[in-house]
Amino acid sequence: MTDYMEENLDMPLRKVLAIMQDRIMNQTTYLGVKALKNPLDHWVYQELIYENQPDVIIEIGNANGGSTLSLAHLCDLLGRGKVIGLDISHQGIPESVKSHCRITFIEGDACQCLTDVVKLISADDRVLIIEDSSHTYENTLNILRTYSTLLKPGDYFIVEDSICHHGLSVGPNPGPYEAIEAFLEENGDFEVDRSRESFLITWNPKGYLRRIRLSEKGSA
């Protein structure tokens, strides 16, 4: 049964989130390619990409490739940048996505593939990282520790699906939200930019991390 906004203005936010989650997981596409993204967050991504003009966007966890393709198209519109897609397998990604000239896909465990990723990045490149892989606490924290070294002050590390058990009763528990908090406790070079959550509804609560300084330990 379809829920219409004007008939449900007093609906609890938790139910709204559940309806959106069902839509995202089962119907959402980008140019016909399945894309497991909250469109409100994705709108924020394009704002951030326009503001920061990253040379490299690293997307960890690509699923069917819809969001990867959308990121490449944003680079097309800006006339700059490339996308590195990391996942255990890319079998579910159509050739139309794999063949885009701005996208390079790397298969394997993200932390074990760091050397391969670094080869594709120049010393002066500005980098945006989007983490959307298994969402387990351990893996998310390891990816934060490993890939944060690639960022310069002003660059962003977006951790997706920290909504797990902080808005939706889905996914690992503890999960990304707890991994973010643990990472921030041990690394003072990053801060949460909650201004990026200004639509209120986000799948990434506390997940927009901005590098604010370079320490000797965390320098890129």
Q: Tens digits of per-residue pLDDT, 34-71?
A: 999 999 999 999 999 999 999 999 999 999 999 999 99
83 in a domain, yes or no?
A: yes
CA 106 – CA 190 distance, rounded (Å): 27
* pLDDT tier for residue 3 given thresholds of 50, 70 and 90: confident
| Mean pLDDT to the nearest integer, 136-142 | 98
65 in a domain, yes or no?
A: yes
| Mean pLDDT to the nearest integer, 113-117 | 98
* pLDDT tier for residue 215 given thresholds of 50, 70 and 90: confident
The pLDDT, as a whole number, for residue 217 is 56
The mean pLDDT of the chain is: 96
217 in a domain, yes or no?
A: no
Helix (H, G, I), strand (E, B) or coil at 216: coil
> How many angstroms separate the Cα of 141 from the Cα of each of 40, 177, 181, 215?
25, 10, 9, 19
* pLDDT tier for residue 33 given thresholds of 50, 70 and 90: very high
Q: What would the two tokens of residue 38 be? A: 């909250």
Range of the domain at 62: 8-211
What is the domain count for the chain? 1
184 in a domain, yes or no?
A: yes
164 in a domain, yes or no?
A: yes
218 in a domain, yes or no?
A: no
Decide which of 217 and 107 is more confident: 107
* pLDDT tier for residue 169 given thresholds of 50, 70 and 90: very high
Categorise residue 131: left if φ over 0, alpha if ψ from -120 to 50, beta otherwise: beta
In this structure, of 144-148, 191-195, 205-209, 212-216, the range with the lowest mean pLDDT score is: 212-216
174 in a domain, yes or no?
A: yes
The pLDDT, as a whole number, for residue 220 is 47
Q: Which of 84, 93, 81, 90 is CA-nearest to residue 118? A: 84
CATH number (domain holding residue 95): 3.40.50.150
**pTM for this prediction:** 0.95
